[in-house]
Structure formats: structure tokens, C-alpha cells
Copies of this chain bind each other. A is one copy, B any other.
């Protein structure tokens, strides 16, 4: 079973990486980009076969390792 975790900075947390991308896009002539936020995506290949259990397990992984929940939010998607 595959799971995808998307981790983004919380709204209101400054994202210098996204800001740099926005600035670079403007420099390349792409107009009309009002904002950019950059985050991480982690794809996990799990041995688990039970969807609800896998989702809870991945949420525990996020809380303990994958995301910094002080400044980041995460979402788990079972594929």
C-alpha cells in the first residue's frame, strides 16, 4: 500500500524558499504569480494492507519524525 504525505509550512509562517521561487519566476518573465509556498512530499511504500490502520500509522510517523508540527501542517493520503 502506498501513502503520500504532504507537508507545508503553516499559514503565517514565513517561507523564504517559496519567496525565492516567486522572485525567480518573475525574473524569468512569468507575470501573475501572486504567491508561492514550497513544501515536501513523502511517498511511503507500506507493507500494511488495512487502510485505516495504515493512515493512523503514517499520522504517527508525521507526529514523531516527518513533520515539525510547531511550524508545519501535514496531510496523509492513502493511494
> Residues of A with Cβ closer than 8 Å to B?
6, 8, 18, 21, 24-25, 28, 30-48, 57, 60-61, 64-66
Q: Using Cβ atoms and an 8 Å threshold, which residues of chain B touch A32?
A: 46-48
Q: Using Cβ atoms and an 8 Å threshold, which residues of chain B touch A37?
A: 42-43
17 pairs, CB–CB < 8 Å, chain A vs chain B: A8-B41, A18-B43, A21-B65, A25-B65, A28-B61, A28-B65, A32-B46, A32-B47, A34-B45, A34-B46, A35-B44, A35-B45, A36-B42, A38-B40, A39-B40, A39-B41, A41-B41
Number of copies: 2
Known A-B contacts A28-B64, A61-B30, A64-B28; the reply to A43 vs B39 at CB < 8 A is yes
